Amino acid sequence: MVHGESFDLDMMGFSDIADISDRVDAAVERSGVVSGMVTVSVTGSTASVSTMEFEPALVEDMKELLEKIASRNMESRHSRTWGDDNGFSHLRATLMGPGIAMPVENGRTVRGTWQQIVLIDHDNRPRKRRVRVQVVGEED
Protein backbone atom coordinates (compact mmCIF):
# COMPACT_ATOMS: atom_id res chain seq x y z
CA MET A 1 0.00 0.00 0.00
CA VAL A 2 1.23 3.48 -0.89
CA HIS A 3 -0.51 6.67 0.26
CA GLY A 4 0.67 10.17 -0.56
CA GLU A 5 -0.61 13.63 0.22
CA SER A 6 0.68 17.19 0.38
CA PHE A 7 -0.01 20.26 2.46
CA ASP A 8 1.06 23.89 2.22
CA LEU A 9 2.40 26.06 5.01
CA ASP A 10 3.12 29.80 5.05
CA MET A 11 6.64 30.39 6.36
CA MET A 12 8.61 33.53 7.23
CA GLY A 13 12.06 32.57 5.89
CA PHE A 14 15.44 33.09 7.59
CA SER A 15 15.27 29.55 9.04
CA ASP A 16 11.74 29.89 10.37
CA ILE A 17 10.87 26.57 12.04
CA ALA A 18 7.41 25.01 12.22
CA ASP A 19 6.30 21.83 14.00
CA ILE A 20 4.52 19.68 11.39
CA SER A 21 4.26 16.51 13.50
CA ASP A 22 0.48 16.60 13.83
CA ARG A 23 0.01 16.99 10.08
CA VAL A 24 2.34 14.09 9.35
CA ASP A 25 0.66 11.93 12.00
CA ALA A 26 -2.75 12.71 10.48
CA ALA A 27 -1.51 11.67 7.03
CA VAL A 28 -0.18 8.40 8.46
CA GLU A 29 -3.53 7.75 10.13
CA ARG A 30 -5.46 8.50 6.90
CA SER A 31 -3.19 6.11 4.99
CA GLY A 32 -4.39 3.09 6.93
CA VAL A 33 -0.81 1.77 7.06
CA VAL A 34 -0.07 -0.06 10.31
CA SER A 35 3.51 -1.14 9.60
CA GLY A 36 5.88 0.57 7.17
CA MET A 37 7.69 3.84 6.54
CA VAL A 38 6.74 7.47 6.13
CA THR A 39 8.83 9.94 4.17
CA VAL A 40 8.38 13.66 4.63
CA SER A 41 9.96 16.09 2.17
CA VAL A 42 9.69 19.71 1.16
CA THR A 43 9.61 20.93 -2.40
CA GLY A 44 12.29 23.50 -3.20
CA SER A 45 15.99 24.05 -2.75
CA THR A 46 15.87 26.49 0.18
CA ALA A 47 13.99 24.49 2.84
CA SER A 48 14.50 21.36 4.94
CA VAL A 49 12.59 18.78 6.93
CA SER A 50 14.20 17.35 10.05
CA THR A 51 13.46 16.33 13.63
CA MET A 52 14.23 18.16 16.86
CA GLU A 53 12.71 18.98 20.20
CA PHE A 54 10.44 21.84 19.20
CA GLU A 55 10.75 24.16 22.17
CA PRO A 56 11.46 27.91 22.02
CA ALA A 57 15.00 27.92 23.40
CA LEU A 58 16.17 25.10 21.15
CA VAL A 59 14.47 26.70 18.13
CA GLU A 60 16.50 29.85 18.79
CA ASP A 61 19.68 27.77 19.32
CA MET A 62 19.11 26.10 15.94
CA LYS A 63 18.66 29.45 14.19
CA GLU A 64 21.83 30.73 15.84
CA LEU A 65 23.79 27.64 14.79
CA LEU A 66 22.59 27.91 11.19
CA GLU A 67 23.63 31.57 11.18
CA LYS A 68 27.14 30.53 12.27
CA ILE A 69 27.35 27.78 9.64
CA ALA A 70 26.04 29.84 6.71
CA SER A 71 25.41 33.47 7.64
CA ARG A 72 22.70 35.42 5.86
CA ASN A 73 25.38 38.09 5.36
CA MET A 74 27.88 35.77 3.69
CA GLU A 75 28.98 36.49 0.18
CA SER A 76 28.18 33.71 -2.24
CA ARG A 77 28.75 33.15 -5.92
CA HIS A 78 25.10 32.17 -6.23
CA SER A 79 23.95 35.53 -4.86
CA ARG A 80 26.36 37.40 -7.13
CA THR A 81 25.20 35.39 -10.15
CA TRP A 82 21.46 35.72 -9.56
CA GLY A 83 21.27 38.89 -7.44
CA ASP A 84 18.80 37.35 -5.01
CA ASP A 85 21.07 37.30 -1.93
CA ASN A 86 19.87 33.86 -0.86
CA GLY A 87 22.96 31.75 -1.46
CA PHE A 88 23.11 31.09 2.28
CA SER A 89 19.63 29.55 2.20
CA HIS A 90 20.61 27.08 -0.53
CA LEU A 91 23.68 26.07 1.48
CA ARG A 92 21.70 25.57 4.70
CA ALA A 93 19.10 23.48 2.88
CA THR A 94 21.75 21.38 1.16
CA LEU A 95 23.51 20.65 4.46
CA MET A 96 20.26 19.66 6.20
CA GLY A 97 18.57 17.91 3.28
CA PRO A 98 15.02 18.12 1.95
CA GLY A 99 13.44 15.30 3.91
CA ILE A 100 13.41 12.42 6.35
CA ALA A 101 12.16 8.84 6.58
CA MET A 102 10.71 7.37 9.77
CA PRO A 103 9.20 4.02 10.71
CA VAL A 104 5.47 3.48 11.16
CA GLU A 105 4.38 0.89 13.74
CA ASN A 106 0.86 0.19 14.94
CA GLY A 107 -0.41 2.92 12.62
CA ARG A 108 1.74 5.64 14.20
CA THR A 109 4.96 7.41 13.33
CA VAL A 110 7.72 6.16 15.65
CA ARG A 111 9.32 9.15 17.39
CA GLY A 112 10.97 9.82 20.71
CA THR A 113 9.06 11.63 23.46
CA TRP A 114 10.64 14.99 22.66
CA GLN A 115 11.16 14.43 18.93
CA GLN A 116 8.99 16.51 16.64
CA ILE A 117 9.05 16.69 12.84
CA VAL A 118 9.89 20.20 11.69
CA LEU A 119 9.88 22.22 8.49
CA ILE A 120 12.67 24.79 8.26
CA ASP A 121 12.41 27.57 5.66
CA HIS A 122 15.87 28.99 5.02
CA ASP A 123 15.02 31.48 2.26
CA ASN A 124 15.39 35.24 2.66
CA ARG A 125 11.69 36.05 2.32
CA PRO A 126 8.30 34.67 3.32
CA ARG A 127 7.12 31.77 1.16
CA LYS A 128 4.38 29.20 0.89
CA ARG A 129 6.00 25.77 1.28
CA ARG A 130 4.64 22.47 0.02
CA VAL A 131 5.35 19.39 2.12
CA ARG A 132 4.87 15.90 0.68
CA VAL A 133 4.08 12.95 2.96
CA GLN A 134 4.41 9.46 1.48
CA VAL A 135 3.41 6.41 3.53
CA VAL A 136 4.39 2.92 2.37
CA GLY A 137 3.55 -0.32 4.13
CA GLU A 138 1.02 -2.89 5.20
CA GLU A 139 -2.58 -2.12 5.98
CA ASP A 140 -4.55 -3.64 8.83
Name the class of domain 2-139. mainly beta
The answer, yes or no, to whether residue 24 has pLDDT greater than 90, is yes
> How confident is the model at residue 108, as a pLDDT?
97
> How confident is the model at residue 6, as a pLDDT?
98
> How confident is the model at residue 83, as a pLDDT?
83
DSSP symbol at 54 = -
Per-domain residue ranges for the chain?
2-139
> pLDDT tens digit string along 31-75?
999 999 999 999 999 999 999 999 999 999 999 999 999 999 988
Is the pLDDT higher at 81 or at 120? 120
Collapsing DSSP to helix, strand or coil, 57 comes out as helix
For 96, 133, 138, the CA distances from 128, given in Å and listed in that order, are 19, 16, 33
Collapsing DSSP to helix, strand or coil, 30 comes out as helix
The answer, yes or no, to whether residue 128 has pLDDT greater than 90, is yes
Asked if 40 and 132 count as a contact pair (C-beta separation under 8 A), the reply is yes
The answer, yes or no, to whether residue 81 has pLDDT greater than 90, is no
> How confident is the model at residue 136, as a pLDDT?
98
Asked if 63 and 18 count as a contact pair (C-beta separation under 8 A), the reply is no
CA 82 to chain centre: 25
